[in-house]
Structure 1
């Protein structure tokens, strides 16, 4: 018999242990979960002269309340950064690093995309690394990396140079990646070859290069903070973005991300079970390998506290030609989960988790699962493998004006269910997304214990509310998979040499 159930919207935990469903309601009424726990922090701004001025102007506004242009449940009133989080940003003591705009204007014209993007990235990275390694300078907790819109426009894969081209680069693909006679003789030639070790994507390359130095950044386009400036909007060279209607939305997102990156915890899940951790597996093809069988694997572990760690897995031939899927070997799976458990113990006074849920896009093969089981051998840990996929065929329609409710659940059997993480949200009086919402296919494919499919779906719905990089009501995917492509793109954007074994999630977003 067809029976549609509904999971109550998961609540979030804020200051004074207050629980509400909307993060903006909770932050406005009660403040962040660990309010008054952050005392000393500093920020820095790196950008062009105009970029720094624009960012400082916007920060001065973003510290104060902002009213939306019209009443909109999805874009509510913004009380101000200081009011919400109980901390402030002293613009008089903000560290500033100026980027040479003339050099950027030259790099825009480089004909070779790899060389163009690498030079733009290094202009920022070299300055930030030099600042951090200089002991005489005060430490900076978070850098606002303010980029001109032309950097965004010409710093992406398939982007082209701007204006009259400057011919530069190495045409022969073999010479780009293989040792040559001129490598030691000509340092400039060797430096040119390094450009091809990285993807020509500004965001991913910058994040990867700064991961190795543990520098926290928030990348912001100038048009995101300068949308009210007439001079900016009239410029023909810069893309026009009228974001005035999104002002409070932008403020909420940047405020939450900033607080999280300086060490704060905006909220916790109010319904999550204690001593449970969730791991999302990421596989991303490494384009620099000669065979497409090679991919980079990483695991994202999220604790019941809400924080997350990313574990770098080795690049290997994980592709299975029979299943057309990527899977770890037994040893690689053992190593990955062992690292995750050790990290959990480190964050929880040497206690081990009671349950570990591994989320993936594909089923786990026998060797892979044997490795995971080996990691929890002789430990009292219930290990469960869950496959989460976007459902393309099955849909449900309501005989009403609005689509199906978010949180709707159709249980097929003990191990399979359809879960609607998108749909109509009563608090916002609108659905998440514009199209008819598709469910996620949830399947328990491996594991032991008495876990029920309803419990698994409740956890997944709750994990859609853990995106600290924005301040949305929820996402359509759980956080274990939401940033899978983002993290995978960062880890495969270049060489992983020198990368730390495990870093908090805040370094990647």
Structure 2
């Protein structure tokens, strides 16, 4: 048993590296600045009330200029200035929105939705209200991303259960209520249109709201999400380690059907060294009676692994030399046999299997702050605890609200050292383009797979899911 510290992985930008996505973009520019496929003008469609569209336009105008972050010196790294979204700095691109790219919602239609008492029908009508406008923009305007602005009345209508007081239903005690989430269902319904969606609440369009992030942080997160969703390659990537062999990480997750009665489908997320992701939907998983842990059969493991690596080959023109498979539960013998059989058929040199789960153990350090991010307690070659959330040297503080919980890494099979696997996991926590704070808790392989599952459950078997992560963010 030994206690070690894993240095913060550095990110690579256009002409420099840094540990922080925000500082890196400001100082060195987005990684893909010279890519011929990047968007220098990102066309945004938007759906909302007349007032919301005006506020959205004002927000984009503010974001085209630098925005001051925290005024306190000791928080300047945690809340840095926003560099401005323009062609001369940072993103080296512009966000374009005008009246022709907006679709106005009528107050009459909003009130009609809000008055519906039945929650399921209310959400369904709200989805239809936005979907028709998104469909028009996707089919009739050259937009890259469609922003859906939710006024407070709509947000409350789709997020709260407004069942009439005193109305009793005898079946409620035994009925399993089917999940119906507005955000997930809308993204799933609009997926076939081929335009990623960005949902915003009206309150987030203006500054100073109660409980909101500061303006610079909001701008950083929104700008990065829109840039990535628009189809640009990547704002940053992990700094390459020595060695010429290509490697990729594959995350396996499971999700239940909306009625929560059956385990529906397995899915995988593949990330190459550039951070590019591919979404795949697996086959239904049979859960034995009394068994709470879902497992793939050997045939399912073989099929899923092979399909994932074929997609990788289509993108990279070659197979990786190494694949690491992440799961949140222990690997079964049939799963390992299926993965390894596919790897042999595809001539993959090395396959590592690592279980990543929350740990109940805690480490404590003197003083009032939690252990540093990157702290690792190596129990043996197969098990270690890793703090992906914690105090951060660069931020000069602990940026969280609760006592951080370390991850437990269980190595089923690997030729790599515990230090290498810990640094790899820590690096993958920084590859989420929906949040520009550097201390994500879970590796993107697993956090993405979970988010994908939340939306995938709203797709029918005949629906063809998009393979790009931007549609699920």
TM-score (norm 2): 0.90
Q: Alpha-carbon deviation of 1:103?
A: 1.3
Q: Map Cα deviations across residues 62-121 of structure 1 (whole Å, 9 max, x no partner).
A: 111111352223211112111321111234476111223321211112122111111101
Aligned 8 A contact 1:341 1:352 in 2: yes
Provide the C-alpha distance between the structure 2 equivalents of 1:251 and 1:96, rounded to a whole number of angstroms.
Answer: 21
8 Å contact 2:305–2:342 — kept in the other structure?
Answer: yes
1:52 — aligned with what?
Answer: 53
1: CA distance, partners of 2:106 / 2:171: 31
Partner in structure 2 of residue 307 of structure 1 = 276
> How far does the alpha carbon of each residue in 1:431-458 deviate from its partner, in whole angstroms, 9 at most, with x for none?
142333322110112x3x5222221111
Q: Does 1:334 align with 2:338?
A: no
The DSSP-based 3-state class of the residue aligned with 2:312 is helix
C-alpha displacement of 1:249: 0.8
2:182 to 202, 210, 214: 202
- For 1:94 and 1:84, the matched residues in 2 are separated by 27
Q: What's the offset of the Cα at 1:323? A: 4.5
* C-alpha distance in 1 between matches for 2:100 and 2:382: 53
Q: Does 1:160 find its partner at 2:162?
A: yes
- Kept after mapping to 2: 8 A contact 1:199/1:494: no
**CA shift digits 1:153-212 (9 cap, x unpaired):** 2213x6226xx99x9xxx999xxxxxxxxxxxxxxxxxxxxxx9x842110001111222
- Is 1:21 aligned to residue 19 of structure 2? yes
Secondary structure, aligned partner of 2:94: coil
Deviating beyond 6 angstroms after TM superposition, the runs of 4 or more aligned structure 1 residues are none
Aligned length: 456
1:87 counterpart (93, 107, 131) = 93
For residue 119 of structure 1, what is the aligned residue in structure 2? 125
Aligned to 1:498: 463
| Separation of aligned partners in 2, 1:432 and 1:454 | 25
Q: Is the 8 A contact 2:42 2:93 kept in 1?
A: no
What does residue 185 of structure 1 align with?
Answer: none
SS of the equivalent of 1:503 reads coil
Structure 1 pair 245/361, CA: closer, same or farther in 2 (3 Å)? closer
Shift of 1:322: 5.6
1:211 is the counterpart of 2:191:
yes
1:429-440 residue pairs with structure 2 within 5 A? 429-440=396-407
Q: Is the 8 A contact 2:267 2:279 kept in 1?
A: yes
Tell me whether 320-329 or 114-123 shows the greater mean CA deviation.
Answer: 320-329
Q: 1:244 to 1:152 in 2, by over 3 A?
A: closer
Identify which range, 31-40 or 351-360, moves more after superposition: 31-40
1:76 and 2:76 equivalent?
no
The aligned residue for residue 112 of structure 2 is 106
Say if 1:424 and 1:69 are closer, same or farther in 2 by CA, change over 3 A: closer
Q: CA offset at residue 471 of structure 1?
A: 1.1
Distance 1:503 1:69, change over 3 A: same
Query: Which structure 2 segments of 5+ residues have no match?
Result: none
Residue 140 of structure 1 corresponds to 143
CA distance in 1, matches of 2:435, 2:358: 22
Supply the distance in 2 between the matched residues of 1:57 and 1:403 (Cα, whole angstroms): 40
- SS of structure 2 residue aligned to 1:383: strand
Corresponding residue to 1:413 among 363, 372, 380: 380
Indicate the SS of the match to 1:483.
helix
Gaps of 5+ in 1: 174-195, 229-240
Distance across 1 between alignment mates of 2:92 and 2:336:
46
Describe the shift of the 1:130–1:64 C-alpha distance in structure 2 as closer, same or farther (beyond 3 A): same
Cα separation, 1, equivalents of 2:323 and 2:82: 37
SS of equivalent residue, structure 1 residue 376: helix
TM alignment of 1:429-468, pairs within 5 A: 429-445=396-412, 447=413, 450-468=415-433
Question: SS of the residue aligned with 1:325?
Answer: coil
CA contact (8 A) 2:70 2:79 kept: no
Aligned to 1:336, what secondary structure does the other structure show? helix
